Amino acid sequence: MGIQPGKFWDSSQPQYIWEHKVIIVGLDNAGKTTILYQFLMNEVVHTSPTIGSNVEEIVVKNTHFLMWDIGGQDSLRSSWNTYYTNTEFIILVVDSTDRERLSVTKEELYRMLAHEDLRNAAVLIFANKQDKKRCMSAAEISKYLTLSSIKDHQWHIQACCALTGEGAEDGGAEWLL
Ligand SMILES: Nc1nc2c(ncn2[C@@H]2O[C@H](COP(=O)(O)OP(=O)(O)OP(=O)(O)O)[C@@H](O)[C@H]2O)c(=O)[nH]1
Ligand SMILES: [Mg+2]
C-alpha cells in the first residue's frame, strides 16, 4: 500500500500521521510569511516579498498542518489555483490598514470560494496588523467582506498581530483544530 496524499511516515514514532493541508493567501504585504514563521518559531523573521511559495510543517497540539504560504503580488494571484488540490483550510490574511485594497481582497475571497477544488475548505481570516494606528477592526472587515453571507463554507475571523503573535495561534490556529 502506498502513502496516501496527506499522510506521512513519522520515523520517531513509526506510524502514519495525517497532515492537514493549509494555504495561506492574501494580498502582497498582508503579513502571510510573517504569520507562517510566527507559527513555526514564535519569532518575527525578516521577510521579502514571496515569489512562488514557502512550505512548512507546523504542529499545533499534536495536529500536523502542511502550510503553504503563497506570494500575493498581483502577477502571482492567477497561479494560486495551482495550490488548491486537497486543501482543507484557507488562511486569508488581511492587512487591516489597507482600506483601499479591501475590495480586491473581497474579489479574491469569493473567487476562491467558488472554485471547485476548495468546495470543502474552511476559511480562517486574519485581520492582521492590529498594532497599527487606525487599523480596521475584525468586525469592520467582516462586514465589508460580507462574511455572514457565506453559508457553504465554515469561516472564522480573528484579529491578530503577526509581530507579537497575539491572536495568531491562540484564537486563530486553534480554530483549525
Ligand atoms: N506592524 C505590523 N507589521 C507587520 C505585521 N505583520 C507583518 N508585518 C510587516 O508587513 C510586511 C510584509 O510582511 P510579509 O509577511 O512579508 O507579507 P506577505 O503577505 O508575505 O507578502 P507577499 O509575500 O509579498 O505576498 C513586513 O515588513 C512585515 O514585518 C503586523 O502584525 N504588524
Ligand atoms: Mg510572503
Angle, CA of 113, 142 and 20, to the nearest 5°: 45
Higher pLDDT, 9 or 119: 119
* In a domain? residue 11: no
Q: Residues of the chain with pLDDT > 70: what percent? A: 95
Query: Is 31 a pocket residue for ligand 1 (Cβ < 6 Å)?
Result: yes
What is the average pLDDT across 4-24? 77
CATH of the domain at 110: 3.40.50.300
* In a domain? residue 1: no
Q: 48 CA distance to ligand 2 centroid (A)?
A: 7
CA-closest candidate to residue 154, choices 128, 118, 116: 118
What is the average pLDDT across 39-51? 93
What mean pLDDT, rounded, does the chain reach?
A: 93
At residue 2, the pLDDT reads: 39
What is the average pLDDT across 24-36? 98
* In a domain? residue 113: yes
Give CA torsion, residues 88, 79, 40, 124, to 10 deg.
Answer: -40
Please list the residues that pair with 58 across neighbouring strands: 65
Confidence of residue 154 (pLDDT cuts 50, 70, 90): very high
* In a domain? residue 110: yes
Instruction: Please list the active-site residues.
Output: 73
Determine the structural domain holding residue 143 and report its residue range: 19-176
At residue 1, the pLDDT reads: 38
Query: Is 129 a pocket residue for ligand 1 (Cβ < 6 Å)?
Result: yes
* In a domain? residue 10: no
Query: Is 131 a pocket residue for ligand 1 (Cβ < 6 Å)?
Result: yes
Confidence of residue 170 (pLDDT cuts 50, 70, 90): confident
End-to-end CA distance of the chain: 28
Confidence of residue 5 (pLDDT cuts 50, 70, 90): low
